[in-house]
Amino acid sequence: MSITRPQRITGALLASHAADALGATLESQSATAIRERYPNGLRDIVGGGPFGLLPGQATHDTDLTRAVLLAYLDRARINAAGGDPDVASLAAGHMLKWLRGDWPERRQGRKPVHVGKTTLEGLQKYGETGEYVGSGGAGGEGKAGNGSLMRCLPTGLFEEDADRLLLDSVAISAITHADERCTVSCAAYNAIARDLVAGRTPQEAVESGLEVARKLEKDTAVADAIELGKKFSIADMAANGPVGLPSEASGFVLESLAIAVAAVLDKRPLEDVVIDVVRIGGDTDTNAAIAAGLLGARDGEDAVPERWVGRLQFGDDFAEIVSHILTTESGSSG
């Protein structure tokens, strides 16, 4: 049975959310420590971890993905009314609301459980000046964490125009992460996601991402990361640790991208691949969320285990937002 576009979009978001929640329990632990505690991998969402989360509670990965997702809901409504909004500004506004506590199950003024340093600095600057880290030039260079790659997925799911996808991917990354390795990684990742949503094979989608990286970047760092991901085995890294990753999968954007490429090319079921990505250790929640976004787009929402989906803080919320966006888009195009 063929997988529909809505099923792929919803699957990508639910898979990313579930993988984030699964990996949060083991955040920052080594592959060796995880193997000792869970010889066959952590298979259920149980909460806890360094942030003391409830089972299925979103980390900043999922919260900020939701902020970008809400920006695309805003865009769909504004487009339907004849407008042409700047989706990056919309996304930045929702991110700022999240930071300030204007968010489901939070109190106004209450800080998030966790926020990365680079993300915090970028959002504080936006709140004070209305300008992104990357506004007006190459600000934010030298900070190449995975904090924008973890949230960029909605652009790949909803932007079908190739040029607009690249522009929006770069702009949304540059709200907090303007280093070329981050902006180009987001663009390449979203090109992969777009192709998967369109029903292209993982191999074809990865080649599209590679083409984008070669087009946009001044050197070959992102393209090299994609090529590296094509050679990796997620199962081998899960069994032996993050061999070949100098930062040991601990938050460097290029390593997270390489893991995601390896994951989407892995022919096993989504559940098995996500569990093994967590087993690699390091930045377990974010690496898993990034990889699972592509796996969900590849396999659709039915591939995400029901026992995971039933625990997700924003499971119903994500499905409803997707439905609203697609309905609004359909109505405006008709």
Which residues are documented as binding site for Mg(2+)? 59, 61, 283, 285-286
Residue (of 283, 25, 316, 302) closest to 147 by Cα position: 283
Dihedral angle, C-alpha 136, 101, 18, 201, nearest 10 °: -20
Name 53's bridge partners: 48
Copy the structure tokens of residue 82.
């004849």
Between CA 60 and CA 123 the distance in angstroms is: 13
Copy the structure tokens of residue 125.
């600057």
Q: What does each C-alpha distance from 226 to 184, 254, 288 come to in angstroms? A: 11, 8, 17
Copy the structure tokens of residue 223.
């393209």
Contact criterion met (CB below 8 Å) for 171 and 151: no
Copy the structure tokens of residue 257.
């991208």
Contact criterion met (CB below 8 Å) for 288 and 33: no
Query: Annotated binding site: which residue ranges?
Result: 59, 61, 283, 285-286
Copy the structure tokens of residue 207.
């080649």
Dihedral angle, C-alpha 321, 325, 330, 332, nearest 10 °: 140
**Distance from first CA to last CA of the chain, Å, rounded?**
27
